[in-house]
Each structure stands twice: as structure tokens, then as C-alpha cells.
Amino acid sequence: MPLATTKTNLFGLDREEMERAALELGEDCFRGRQLYHGIYHDLNFHAEAITSLSKRFRGALAAKFQIALPEILERHPSRDGAARYRIQFPDSNAVESVYMPEERRVTLCLSSQAGCAVECRFCFTALMGLIRNLTAGEILGQVCAVIRDQQISSRMRLNVVFMGMGEPLLNVASVMKAVRIMIDQNALGIPLRRITISTSGIVPGIKALAEEPLRPKLAVSLNASTDEQRVSLMPINRKYPLRDLLAACRAYPLGPREVLTFEYVLLASVNDSLPDALRVAKLLRGMRAKVNLIPYNGGPGLPYRPPSFDRVLDFQEALAARGVPAFIRISRGQDVRAACGQLTLEASQKAG
Ligand code: SF4
């Protein structure tokens, strides 16, 4: 378990907060900016290693602050090159993050909350309920812990998706603070267009995100073709029915080449029929949107099965024939409990 300490963690502070930390220790503001660059851009996780700072400042920092990443509790490498992580914070709460390398890029799937309140019926994280929101530092900590563990080079193209544990639009302040540090050229320098927030359909959150001056890409977890079906899979649909959700999506401002992504988890004999595909095409008619079809990959304990591959292809063809681009996304790390929340739930069951 990571050691609890009374020292303030610099990791997770933004540039202005680091400037204030420098001023507190009798240094100029620009020393705070050097500290910020040293941590997030050069990935130094000890004040002593940031040699652009004076020895006196490094000593004062070490006495009052710490630079602490969360602890990697478990790493599960998959045969397909991906790795699933269980990452723990000082209060013992743990989340899951996934590393997915491709030839010239790496995608990191992050958690935004410990547990989740949204109760999607096909999701293991839902079984935990919400434990708490993550801080910006805990979100960035997942990125930096995996970068360090996998020794990801700065030349590698990095994509970030908020599709791990939690509903990011129920923790917008911390998610957006982390995103602003991710995209800053003086910090991690990840292009905004390579960051995606995936939501279960929190309409006020979509509207709030629409107001942000710098917006990551938006993906909406649709998973159903009617309100009735969606309520049975995602009870959140009672609060934010399809009509309101799709209206918020239609009003969402998009860049010149940007499209909205709708995620659709295909569950055998539940939502994978041809009439479902036709209704989805009708719902999305006229939108600049694409659909990612994700054959269900859950484990034991949930009452769903993956569809046959033919069924997935038929669904894709039916959407494409009606002008909705659809792509089949196979979850990475199938051999290492690919379903989100599965590792954590298993760990808590063992502990209990
Ligand atoms: S799918 Fe996402 S939003 Fe739904 S319960 Fe799981 S973690 Fe929460």
C-alpha cells in the first residue's frame, strides 16, 4: 500500500498552483513553471532530479512537498500486447487502466472515478457502486505510471480515452483539469484531438462540455435502439431519455472534420437484431457520427453473451447501407479479464 504522508503532492497541481508553491517557498513564479515542466514534460518524479532548479529550491521542495505517482498493484500483460493495470491510491482505493500499443501509437484507457454510480447492467464496475471521484492528479497519475512502467518513448503517438471505471461527465472538473495538463506543450503535450471522453449519456455533462473552450472528442455509449431497451440496459436512460440525449448530441459543436462517436456494445439476442440496426440508423440520421460496434466481452457473473461474428457483420452492414459508418472494435486484452471493473471486483471479492 502506498505510504500516507502529510506532505502535499505536487503531482496533479496545474501551472498556476505550482507557481504559487514556488512563491510560498520564496522563489520567483518562473521557478514554479520550471517545476511544472520538470514534472509533466520531463517526467521527473523526484524534486532532486529537476536540475534546472536551484539546489536550495529542490531542498525546500523535498522538505514540504512530495511528487508521488499512484502505485501499480497488478499488471496483466495480454497475448495481444495490451496490458491491464490495477492502480492504487494512498487511501487504498484502486482503479483500472489499460495500455494498448499499436505499431506507431499507444492508447491509454483511463478511469475517472473509483467505482461508478451509473448502474449499466453489462458492466462489472457498476456492481461496486460509486466509491469516490478521482482527482486530476490521480487521473494524470494513471498516465504517468503506465508511461513509466512501459517506458513509452516521447516519440510515440499517445491517445487517451476515458473509458475505464467511472462516468467522466460526473467528474468534469477533475477530468478537464487533467485534460488541460495533458494537452499543454509544457506538460505532456498530447494533442486534444487524441483525447476522447466517453459518456453513458449524462445530458447536463454533454452540455457543460459543449461550453468548454478546448474540448476533447466525445463518445456516447448508446447500446440500444429504443428507450425501453436502453432503460433495461442503462437505467440512466430514465433520467436522460434518447430524445434528450440525441438532442444534446445534435447541438454539440464539432470541429471541421470531427464526428461524434456512438459506442454500441452488442449483446447476443438483446440488442443485436436487424431491426435494432435499422432503428439505430434512424436515430442517428443526419448526424455527423460513426458507430463503434463492440461485441460484448464480459466474464462470469453477468447475464449476457457475446453475439456471433456473423451477427456483428450483419449489424455493421445494415448501418453502413443506411449511411452510418460503423466499425467493429474488438476489446484488447481478452485473455486478461477485458471487462472494465473485473480485476477490481475480483480483488475485492478475494479480500472479502
Ligand atoms: S459502463 Fe461506464 S458508466 Fe456504465 S456503469 Fe460501467 S463504468 Fe459506469
Q: Kind and range of the H or E element at 289?
A: strand 289-295
> What pLDDT score was predicted for residue 309?
95
Alpha carbon distance 271, 266 (integer Å) = 6
Instruction: Determine how many CB atoms are found less than 10 A away from the CB of residue 67.
Output: 22
Residue to probe by mutation, ligand 1, list 111, 125, 132, 165, most atoms within 8 Å of CB = 125
> What pLDDT score was predicted for residue 337?
59
- Which listed residue (27, 96, 167, 263) is catalytic? 96
C-alpha cell at 267: 449483446
How much distance in Å is there from the Cα of 167 to the middle of ligand 1?
A: 6
Q: Contact 96/89 with Cβ under 8 angstroms?
A: no
* Catalytic residue list contains 96: yes
Question: Which amino acid is present at 129?
Answer: G
Residue to probe by mutation, ligand 1, list 124, 167, 172, 223, most atoms within 8 Å of CB = 167
Nearest CA residue ID for atom 6, ligand 1: 123
Instruction: Determine how many CB atoms are found less than 10 A away from the CB of residue 119.
Output: 16
Q: Contact 116/166 with Cβ under 8 angstroms?
A: yes
* DSSP conformational letter for 258: -
Alpha carbon distance 139, 174 (integer Å) = 8
Distance between alpha carbon 142 and the CA centroid of its chain, in Å?
A: 10
Question: Which amino acid is present at 18?
Answer: M
Q: Evaluate: CB of 120 within 6 angstroms of ligand 1.
A: yes
> What pLDDT score was predicted for residue 103?
87
Tell me the three-class secondary structure of 125-169, residue by residue: HHHHCEEEECCHHHHHHHHHHHHHHHCCCCCCEEEEEECCCCCHH
pTM of the model: 0.94
Q: Evaluate: CB of 170 within 6 angstroms of ligand 1.
A: no
> What pLDDT score was predicted for residue 210?
96
Closest ligand 1 atom to the C-alpha of 119? 5
Nearest CA residue ID for atom 4, ligand 1: 120
> What pLDDT score was predicted for residue 47?
87
Closest ligand 1 atom to the C-alpha of 124? 6
> What pLDDT score was predicted for residue 292?
96
- Tens of pLDDT along the chain (352 residues) come to 555 567 889 999 999 999 999 999 999 999 999 999 999 999 999 888 999 999 999 999 999 999 999 999 999 999 999 999 999 999 999 999 999 999 889 999 999 999 999 999 999 999 999 999 999 999 999 999 999 999 998 888 999 999 999 999 999 999 999 999 999 999 999 999 999 999 999 999 999 999 999 999 999 999 999 999 999 999 999 999 999 999 999 999 999 999 999 999 999 999 999 999 999 999 999 999 999 999 998 777 889 999 999 999 999 999 999 999 999 998 776 666 556 666 766 666 655 5
Spell out the domains of the chain, with CATH numbers in brackets: 8-66 (1.10.150.530), 71-351 (3.20.20.70)
> What pLDDT score was predicted for residue 348?
62
Q: Evaluate: CB of 88 within 6 angstroms of ligand 1.
A: no
* Catalytic residue list contains 340: yes
> What pLDDT score was predicted for residue 340?
66
Alpha carbon distance 56, 32 (integer Å) = 14
How much distance in Å is there from the Cα of 146 to the middle of ligand 1?
A: 22
Question: What is the DSSP code string of 176-201?
Answer: HHHHHHHH-TTTT---GGGEEEEES-
Q: Kind and range of the H or E element at 21?
A: helix 15-24
> What pLDDT score was predicted for residue 19?
97
Which residue's entry shows cell 492528479? 137
Q: Contact 265/304 with Cβ under 8 angstroms?
A: no
Q: Evaluate: CB of 265 within 6 angstroms of ligand 1.
A: no
Alpha carbon distance 205, 203 (integer Å) = 5
Instruction: Determine how many CB atoms are found less than 10 A away from the CB of residue 241.
Output: 15
> What pLDDT score was predicted for residue 250?
97
How much distance in Å is there from the Cα of 180 to the middle of ligand 1?
A: 24
Alpha carbon distance 61, 177 (integer Å) = 23
Q: Evaluate: CB of 200 within 6 angstroms of ligand 1.
A: yes
What backbone phi and psi angles, to 5 degrees, belong to 18?
-70, -35
Q: Contact 70/145 with Cβ under 8 angstroms?
A: yes
